Amino acid sequence: MTDPVPLIGEPLAVDLVNTRPRLASGPVDLIGDVAGLRAWLALEAERFEEAVGPLGGDDLAELHRVREHIADALYAARDGEPVPPEAVLGINRALAAAPLVRELIREGGEGLVLVPRREGAPGVRLAALFAEDAAALLAGPARSRVRACGAEGCVMLFVPAHPGRRWCSAARCGNRARVARYYRRHRTG
């Protein structure tokens, strides 16, 4: 991958791990600072049920911690290996730090709605959200479908909807692979 634009649309936990692409200049962290985290979260905003709130450096550190555990777990799943105990422990710690509770809220007049909510600082709540998504992925049938992009030098993960998918993005890595194949076949001389 040579494009710093984040890939989104995979399960949230996979999207979080994919915030560390490898560019032509080397690895980069798209959420290496609070501004990058805010920009990335804005791309993912419609996938969150509740507002994130203001973010600071502690929130970023919390998200980086859970990203490491999720990455270790997803790389193990990709390789068909058991998830490391440390990754399970880290994901469970993030879940326990901001457990999901449901609260009955009065909405307009006499209507009541059951709303999910998490307590804690924004980073703790975000980490729990991503940990929950990772736990559901790892405990379900999609665990065995986690794949690495087939393009040379790309480190992105994805969960294919169909078994023939080979790239993180057909428009990016897939197109580059097709163009490279074409030039190898048609090279003169």
What CATH number does the domain containing 25 carry?
A: 1.10.3300.10
pLDDT tens for residues 70-94? 999 999 999 999 999 999 999 999 9
Q: Which domain holds residue 40?
A: 12-143
Q: 173 lies in a domain?
A: no
Question: Measured between alpha carbons, how far apart are the two ends of the chain, in Å?
Answer: 29
Q: 174 lies in a domain?
A: no
CA distance 125 to 82: 27
Q: 19 lies in a domain?
A: yes
Q: 180 lies in a domain?
A: no
Q: 110 lies in a domain?
A: yes
pLDDT tens for residues 116-148? 889 889 999 999 999 999 999 999 999 999 999
CA distance 134 to 132: 5
Percentage of the chain lying above the pLDDT 90 cut = 62
Q: 131 lies in a domain?
A: yes
pLDDT tens for residues 22-47? 888 889 999 999 999 999 999 998 98
The number of folded domains in the chain is: 1
pTM: predicted TM-score of the whole model, two decimal places: 0.88
